[in-house]
Amino acid sequence: MGRFFRVWIAEIGCIALILMFSPSLSNAVRIKDITDIEGVRENHLVGYGLVIGLAGTGDGNKSEFTLQSMSSMLDKMGIKVAPDDIDVDNVAAVMVTADLPPFARSGTQIDAIVSSISDAESLYGGTLIFTPLKAANGEVYAVAQGPLVIGGFTAGGSQSSVQKNFPTVGRVIDGVMIEKEIPNCFSQKEILTIALHKPDFTTVRRVAEEINSVLYDHAATTPDAGTIHVKVPERYKEDLVRLVSIIEGLDVTTDSVAKVVINERTGTVIVGKNVRISTIAIAHGNLSVAINESRNVSQPLPFSRGETVVVPETDLSVKEDKSNLMLVESGVSIGELVRALNALGVSPRDLITIFQALRASGALLAELETI
């Protein structure tokens, strides 16, 4: 029994070492998180509607299309009212948007986003009335109606006001009822097309190899850097959902180009793990110029018939920070590069200048992207 436990513990130790040092396992991600399956996507819906029941924070009489919408709505209900006779302080014209999920069925309820398109101050306390939602083909697939949930507020008086978040945008929780289904022949597919979020030749090859290692019949092929075609095996043709579930749960190690992303507006610098530089010496110092200007009054002596004048005085100082020369060896890792730059005491905005200089010198072995 003791020998059995010693062998078992030794095996567990070997497995732990493999998990610790295996790059394919430590950096692995699910195929589900880096790909999309052709035909499985959302569809955008949009509609024009009215929000009623506002406490005087609506569009007002200056919004002509809101007046026309109210008149048209009342006319359909058998009430004849001219647009000029309507007061719409408690009504707001809005655009309603929603995303129709894939495989959604009639009767499914989803959320909708309601946004003011006129002069409404707030949609707080309002109710969206019956609004048809159309897809890009112009057909109605859902209708929206219900009370709004607002994530902000506004309050104030004649001289000051306070506002939190955006009170002119709200959400109708489960307020969209799907009325029409989008035709789908997913279960009849003989070839699954899987698309990478970010095309990469190395990553797409690894995805195909991982799929083939599970299906055992070389079903996955890669026509380009962003697409994998999977021929549905005979045993999965009646259970395509199970096949997709198996593929999505597989782990692969992604690859990407070496890249440095900088944002000069915010001073943000993002350095990828594959970034390398050639052997180079770096020195970085700041030059600051301070100009202090003051005005003094020159008062003439008594009975000298002189004039009182203002005499400007300028104090100019120039300061340059001292910086040591730092040697960085060729092919260092991102960790070593960060330690070297930190040793120079550079700020994020200084890093932007340094990386731009590295690129200009040809020492930066990575892509530099400015956003």
CA pair distance 51, 168, nearest whole angstrom? 11
Beta pairing class for 191-196 and 227-231 = antiparallel
Token pair of 118 as six digits: 């006129």
Count how many domains the chain has: 3
Asked whether residue 104 falls in the same domain as residue 197, the answer is no
31 falls within a domain? no
CA pair distance 11, 13, nearest whole angstrom? 5
Of 189, 199, 191, 185, the C-alpha closest to 230 is: 191
196 falls within a domain? yes
Asked whether residue 80 falls in the same domain as residue 153, the answer is yes
Asked whether residue 47 falls in the same domain as residue 170, the answer is yes
Asked whether residue 120 falls in the same domain as residue 210, the answer is no
Query: 17-31, 83-97, 182-196, 336-350 — which is least confidently predicted?
Result: 17-31
Asked whether residue 174 falls in the same domain as residue 219, the answer is no
CA pair distance 45, 331, nearest whole angstrom? 51
User: Between the CA of residue 194 and those of 24, 94, 228, 249, 257, what are the distances in Å?
Assistant: 21, 38, 5, 14, 21
Q: Residue 342 contacts by C-beta under 8 Å, 6 or more apart in sequence?
A: none
CA pair distance 350, 342, nearest whole angstrom? 11
Asked whether residue 235 falls in the same domain as residue 360, the answer is no
Cβ atoms of residues 178 and 110 within 8 Å: yes
Residue given tokens 């003989």 in the structure block = 190
Residue given tokens 């309820």 in the structure block = 109
Asked whether residue 190 falls in the same domain as residue 174, the answer is no
Mean pLDDT confidence for 74-100: 86
Banded pLDDT at 292 (limits 50, 70, 90) = low
Q: Residue 359 contacts by C-beta under 8 Å, 6 or more apart in sequence?
A: 368
Domain containing residue 212: 185-253
Last residue of a domain, one of 209, 235, 253: 253
Asked whether residue 174 falls in the same domain as residue 238, the answer is no
145 falls within a domain? yes
Of 314, 318, 313, the C-alpha closest to 289 is: 318
Residue given tokens 């005979």 in the structure block = 234
The whole-number pLDDT of residue 17 equals 35
Residue given tokens 């079903």 in the structure block = 219
Query: What percent of the chain has pLDDT above 90?
Result: 33
Using left for φ > 0, alpha for ψ between -120 and 50, and beta otherwise, residue 308 falls in beta
Query: What percent of the chain has pLDDT above 70?
Result: 73
Asked whether residue 51 falls in the same domain as residue 137, the answer is yes
The whole-number pLDDT of residue 8 equals 38
Asked whether residue 51 falls in the same domain as residue 165, the answer is yes
Token pair of 114 as six digits: 């309601």
pLDDT digits (tens, 9 = 90+) for 317-367: 545 555 555 566 666 666 676 677 677 677 777 777 878 887 887 777 788
Last residue of a domain, one of 253, 279, 296: 253
CA pair distance 44, 99, nearest whole angstrom? 5
13 falls within a domain? no
Mean pLDDT confidence for 166-191: 88
pLDDT above 80 for 296: no
Coil vs helix vs strand at 348: helix
Q: Residue 158 contacts by C-beta under 8 Å, 6 or more apart in sequence?
A: none
Q: What are phi and psi of 118, to 5 degrees?
A: -135, -135
Asked whether residue 245 falls in the same domain as residue 265, the answer is no
Q: What are phi and psi of 83, to 5 degrees?
A: -60, -30
Neighbours of 266 (CB within 10 A): 10
26 falls within a domain? no
Residue at 152: amino acid letter: G
Banded pLDDT at 16 (limits 50, 70, 90) = very low
29 falls within a domain? no
51 falls within a domain? yes
Last residue of a domain, one of 253, 279, 300: 253
More confident residue, 233 or 329: 233
Asked whether residue 131 falls in the same domain as residue 160, the answer is yes
4 falls within a domain? no
The whole-number pLDDT of residue 208 equals 93
More confident residue, 24 or 100: 100
